Chain A
Amino acid sequence: MSGPQFRLSAGGRIDRAAALGFSFNGESFTGYAGDTLASALLAYGAFPLARSFKYHRPRGIYAAGAEEPNALVQLESGARSQPNLRATQIELYSGLNASSVNAWPSVDFDLMRVNDWLSPLFPSGFYYKTFMGAGIGTGRWWKLFEPFIRRAAGFGRAPAGPDPDRYERMNAHCDVLVVGGGPAGLSAALAAANRGSRVILADEQAEPGGDLLAGDRGIDGAPAMDWTATAMETLGAAPDVTVLTRTTVAGLYDDNFATALESVGERFGPDAPAHLPRLRLWRIRARQIVLATGAHERPYAFANNDTPGVMLGNAVRHYAGRYAVVPGRQVLLGTNNDSAYRTALLLAQAGIAVTLADARESPPAALAEAVRSAGIVLETGCAITAVAGDRRIRGAKIAPVRADGEIAGSPRPVDADLVGVSGGWNPALHLASHRGARPVWNEAPACFVPDDLSALGVRVAGAVTGAGALAECLEQGYAAGRDAARAAGRTKRIRKPVLKTDDGAAGAPIRPLWAVAGRRPGDRRGKAFVDLQNDVTAKDVALAARENYRSVEHLKRYTTLGMGTDQGKTANVTGLALMGMETGRSPDAVGTTTFRPPYTPIPFGALAGRDRGALFDPVRETPMFDWHAANGAVFEDVGQWKRPYAYRRAGESLEQAIDREVSAVRNAVGIMDASTLGKIDLKGPDVVTLLNRVYTNDWETLKVGRARYGLMCHEDGMIFDDGVTARLADDHYVMTTTTGNAATVLNWLELWLQTEWPDLRVFATSVTEAWATATVAGPEARKLVSDLDGDIDWSDEAFPHMAIRNGAILGAPARIFRVSFSGEASYEINVPAHYGLALWQALIGGGATPYGTEAMHVLRAEKGFIIVGQETDGTVTPQDVGMGWAVSKRKDFIGKRSYSRPDTARPDRKHLVGLLPLDSGTVLPEGGQIVNDPSQEPPVTMLGHVTSSYRSPSLNGGFALALLKNGRNRTGDTVHVLKLDEGADAARVVDPVFYDRDGGRLRG
């Protein structure tokens, strides 16, 4: 690559003192601070730096901003690599390293270009018409071809490793959010700030100014950027104004919630200071919003309009004015509106030879005179019809065109190595559309503009309204800022500034022009692209029309128009206008697709912010957690809690550990950390009424000092939680819930108390974290607890099963429930959370064996006790699990009515049963499906499933609980539990209580 020969010797907003070396596709380049990657590369010429999606045609830089369809690059390598960035939006930094995407082996020689030559076979939607596997077998051809299509599709590559960078979120509130820092946005921000509003001004560029950054505009007889600088000073001095540069407002949501992405450390590249996040996601709640989002220039299509060196006209102006780069010596500008005249004049001033082809017969006289006197060749009534060349432009042709865009005379060659095309302007109404604005076709500028959203507190100003003149943009901005401030309650009166702009005489209307040539079938003058990124041509639009994919959504989905990473910013309106021409409708009648957030892409990491790793979801630990961790605990996640599953000793397998823990409880004494069980404190005179309504059983008879087990159901009658509730005093109860449902149950109680029974005098308070709980269980439990220093009488007479006592243990206030989930005598000792570890250590010191959740599961299963969520799944009633005894006949409660529905009252529903494998060495698989006939071929008649299954050291063999159709009436039958692959295990249906059926052990 020869030197930066296309950099103008003077001008631009680059810092020529700060040269920055960088590399692209392995070659070394030099640019300046203030450059984008695109401008720095263009200084070396408009060469191909990308390949297109479908045809792999060489592509160059096309635009100067977010609308760029072509110049996607892979930035950096390794874990910090970033695919699909637009070169036009990458600020140059020293050492930047970028490469082309979607080209193999290289961007200069891409084998997939074969797609282009075969393109007659690949019209839009060709893949719907072939690979059906006709006659060869279902979809076999597609299976063969799909991997190739997948490899050919996609642009860049995912990074090689986990993202080392950091992302932040920031919440902000303001009176007025101004989106866009061009003349309209600055004017709006000034007006709102002068009224004393809290203002946030967000602009996506490194510096505000918008269109003024091209440097060729004037305000009050001075360069317009002087006005911009003054405006920024004023805003900087205002107390409540936040100016966010490099910040793209990406989406607007209900109630004027906005998301914006700020580039922070990103612009320094991999060597960014460590304290900076790469990106910061702003979540802004604005009372009022002013959208000064500007407009994107659109091209018109002509043959080979994708050749590198064809650019948007205004992009040529911006590269020349802002970056002092003109990547050509002879420029052909094609236009149908006034805006290209400024580009022509700017280029002429820089000494570039310019031909300006205006499709209008009679451009405004003043403009024509101005360009002619600057030495520019002006061709009126002409449009560009084609460019020649493949990897760079080797000339172009212009010709008169008819109203429908068809060529009306013979094309004439024009010498050109750079082509700028302007087909008009599309207001950037994306954000307005997010808030529900309907795009309305405006004939004069031939574009869609947003309808009025002021009732929602959203106003538009500047080019987004279709405005063209600078004065109009300033005026609209001022009015929108003032009105927004007023609507936000800022009523301070301010004086309207009077500004004189260089707009000149009133312009002439646009001549709508969408595609010159390339539309008709059989037109062999070359492809005329509408969507450059997705390789959608004018012919593809015509084909979609012919095949009746005429809705704008069908057009988009059938041809992929506007579905690329640029979301069709330069393509959509042209595409639907062409569809309108094909089908005899105005663009308005064709309609637009709905713009979807985000306006420009946002990295997933920025959306996740700091919610990563341990912060992804909080971990809840009990006061004894550290002891567990230090003593071999293997943890399991239960909800957000970490619970010990088992405590492994050295040399022990997990199974051995569980067996040892179970045996300890059965034969001596074990302790379990039960702090995670939900605990809800219930106070008030009507607690018993509440309990009667939410639990299936009766609560009237529960005395102070006693506890009772209860089942809770939804109105459909299905179990959703269970637990023990104790009566501490006449009007004071404490309810326990399962670990996972603690919050759900509290919400459930509150829902009923507040919305249905506000007359009930009950306060419900979660006290789960206030207490630490150790369950002491086993034949030696009473001896162990009796040895604790305290004032409690542990004798069976004084403290029987299902009783509760308050007292002091180790000097701490304690609340003890004598309840059992293991089948042994058992005490749940609750102490204030910060005494939990001391209690635990005292119990361990007394000789207790700690046991985990799995041993607890085995112990309770031997007793036939259910676990909600394991024996139940939202389809199981109390009667199904054999707890009809806990369902009151005497009162109404939530869910009761459902039990008399035909299906719920069926006698042959699935019932909880016990299963004993005929071979006692077998442990039936949990989840195993139960059948009568193990030889049946699938689909088999499944009668239920194994809900819990363990090896029991006490029973010395496997045993299981199961839900079995008509199970209670099948005691003694042999059933079969299918193995995962083949065969089945035979088992006998038994009562679900395997151990100590009369309950003697748990009573003492």
Chain B
Amino acid sequence: MQRYSIFSLARNALTGHRNWPQAWRSPAPKPEYDVVIVGGGGHGLATAYYLAAEHGITNVAVLERGWLGGGNTGRNTTIIRSNYLWDESAAIYEKALQLYEGLSRELNFNIMLSQRGVLNLAHNEHDLKEMSRRVRAIRGNGVDSEILTPAEIKKLVPAINISKDVRYPILGASLQRRGGIARHDAVAWGFARAADDRGVDIIQNCEVTGIDRDGGRVTGVQTTLGPVKAGKVGVVVAGHASVLADMAGFRLPIDSHPLQAMVSEPIKPVLDCVVMSNAVHVYVSQSDKGELVIGAGIDSFNSYAQRGSWQIIEGQMGALVELFPVFSRLRLMRSWGGIVDTCPDASPILSKTPVDGLYFNCGWGTGGFKATPGSGWAFAHTIARDEPHPIAAPFSLDRFTTGALIDEHGAAAVAH
């Protein structure tokens, strides 16, 4: 792998940038791999990377139906945070955040992690109580979190309206300073390049059409490029998890919904941290390019189309402009949709399955991006050892049978 640096940029500038190598190869699939990862999004690529980097398993293929990072990895609002209520959630999201903090260096690819802070607004007495509980739980888990007064919020976010004379006044906020945003595509590309460098075959435009089993054990997959044998198969396909589970003969506690997001035209810096509000349902940040990146709520119906309904966007904008009156004249430039796989307890599934050697990583709902490296790291362990990593164990499928759910709905009603 040719290392990227300011020096390699300068050197390549002298030769007109004609000598840059491929960021990753595009090999044809081999007939057999030790591990096949289905899904070339951030989580799948991270899984492949950590299989190679942490467990020495390099005879790995990542099979991607379309283009790398083309699912929710390339469609989310790029928010990273680890301020979760329950211990189990805090453990995996904080692991992810810590990995993010070193990821540009580890991958030698600038993912543009920007720890500009994530602000969660409270608009009523109930919100304030919830916020107090969350902040204290988060700090108990050793994760940074603090409480801000409206005046402190205004200082951090001058464009916000803290007037008491509005429909839902801002009464306070919690702030995770280490939270922020990162360049979503770069996360996928960085993992892809580093995994490829360690020998992982990344195969795009290769759709898995069947999961081969023999006596309760997985033996490989059928694909649009032919059969591929594998000792172990990890499925990381976000919105399509139920479809793949159906191929393997079981059901998941998952519904797929459209989730929309949008960006404004690029403007000069006006918002220096991520702002989220459960009560009026807003989450917004400003990208390095200057676009306001805004997330909407999910549509209530199930869908595998990457588009949602119009009224969701209208509702979203009322809330945004209430919070930020000066945004009224900024313009919506592009909206799009992704397919999120939602679990009943708003927590992911990272688990062995009824089929030996078949592992599923799904159910991240609206919050998968922030977990990407942690998810891949724990899933690689689960696959390599055929045993859940301790931080993955609580997210096993059997929790739906035992009742040991990790219900993050209580205070995470907002999608993000």
Give A132 Cβ to nearest chain B Cβ, in Å: 4
For residue A522, which residues in chain B have a CB less than 8 angstroms away from its CB? 15-16, 18
Which B residues, 119 to 175, have Cβ-Cβ distances below 8 Å to chain A? 123-126, 129-137, 139-142, 147, 159, 161, 166-168
Pairwise interchain contact A146-B267, C-beta atoms closer than 8 A: no
**Interface 9-mer from A121-129, A201-209, A806-814, A832-840:** A121-129
A239 within 8 A of B: no
For residue A242, which residues in chain B have a CB less than 8 angstroms away from its CB? none
A503 within 8 A of B: no
| A146 touching B204 in the complex, CB below 8 Å, given contacts A162-B326, A521-B17, A546-B20 | no
Which A residues, 604 to 657, have Cβ-Cβ distances below 8 Å to chain B? 604-605, 607-609, 611-614, 616-617, 619, 636-638, 645
> Which of A79, A121, A259, A548 is in CB contact (< 8 Å) with B25?
A548
Pairwise interchain contact A521-B16, C-beta atoms closer than 8 A: yes
| A155 touching B204 in the complex, CB below 8 Å, given contacts A874-B409, A928-B136, A938-B142 | no
For residue A927, which residues in chain B have a CB less than 8 angstroms away from its CB? 129-137
> Which of A163, A554, A597 is in CB contact (< 8 Å) with B325?
A163
Pairwise interchain contact A543-B17, C-beta atoms closer than 8 A: yes
Bound Cα distance from A129 to B402, whole angstroms: 48
From A79, A132, A645, name the one whose CB has the most chain B CB atoms within 10 angstroms.
A132
A903 within 8 A of B: yes
Q: What mask results when residues 564 to 593 of chain A are scored 1 for a CB within 8 Å of chain B, else 0? A: 110100000000000000000000000000
A253 within 8 A of B: yes
Chain B, residue nearest A85 (CB): B331
Bound Cα distance from A840 to B369, whole angstroms: 54
Pairwise interchain contact B102-A138, C-beta atoms closer than 8 A: yes
| A129 touching B8 in the complex, CB below 8 Å, given contacts A139-B101, A926-B132, A945-B137 | yes
Chain B, residue nearest A905 (CB): B403
Q: What mask results when residues 925 to 944 of chain A are scored 1 for a CB within 8 Å of chain B, else 0? A: 11111010000011110100
A991 within 8 A of B: no
Which B residues, 12 to 41, have Cβ-Cβ distances below 8 Å to chain A? 12-18, 20-26
Pairwise interchain contact B321-A716, C-beta atoms closer than 8 A: no
| A257 touching B310 in the complex, CB below 8 Å, given contacts A157-B268, A604-B321, A637-B123 | yes
Which A residues, 939 to 955, have Cβ-Cβ distances below 8 Å to chain B? 939-940, 942, 945
> Which of B167, B326, B402 is in CB contact (< 8 Å) with A161?
B326
A725 within 8 A of B: no
Pairwise interchain contact B329-A605, C-beta atoms closer than 8 A: yes
Give B305 Cβ to nearest chain A Cβ, in Å: 8
Bound Cα distance from A253 to B313, whole angstroms: 12
A83 within 8 A of B: yes
Chain B, residue nearest A164 (CB): B328
The range of chain B's interface size is: 35 or more
A158 within 8 A of B: yes
B246 within 8 A of A: no
> Which of B114, B166, B403 is in CB contact (< 8 Å) with A901?
B403
Pairwise interchain contact A596-B334, C-beta atoms closer than 8 A: yes
Bound Cα distance from A601 to B5, whole angstroms: 37
Which B residues, 282 to 328, have Cβ-Cβ distances below 8 Å to chain A? 286, 288-290, 307, 309-310, 313-315, 317-322, 325-328
Interface residues of B (CB under 8 A from A): 4-6, 8-10, 12-18, 20-26, 66-68, 70, 74, 87, 90, 101-102, 104-105, 108-110, 112-114, 123-126, 129-137, 139-142, 147, 159, 161, 166-168, 183, 185-186, 189-190, 204, 264-270, 280, 286, 288-290, 307, 309-310, 313-315, 317-322, 325-336, 344, 399, 401-405, 407, 409-411
Going nearest first, the 9 A-B pairs with the smallest beta carbon separation are A154-B290, A927-B133, A938-B142, A521-B18, A163-B328, A927-B132, A605-B328, A601-B331, A162-B325
Interface residues of A (CB under 8 A from B): 53, 79-84, 120-121, 123, 126-134, 138-139, 142, 146, 149-151, 153-163, 165, 251, 253-254, 257, 259, 283, 521-523, 539, 543, 546-551, 553-554, 557-558, 560, 563-565, 567, 594, 596-598, 601-605, 607-609, 611-614, 616-617, 619, 636-638, 645, 716-718, 869-870, 873-875, 898, 901-904, 925-929, 931, 937-940, 942, 945, 978, 980
Given contacts A150-B286, A551-B68, A604-B329, 17 further A-B contacts (CB under 8 A): A121-B13, A123-B13, A132-B4, A138-B104, A146-B114, A154-B269, A158-B327, A161-B326, A551-B67, A554-B67, A565-B333, A604-B321, A604-B330, A637-B125, A927-B131, A938-B139, A980-B147
Q: List 12 A-B contacts (CB under 8 A).
A: A151-B269, A154-B289, A156-B267, A157-B270, A543-B20, A603-B331, A869-B126, A873-B411, A903-B402, A931-B140, A938-B139, A980-B147
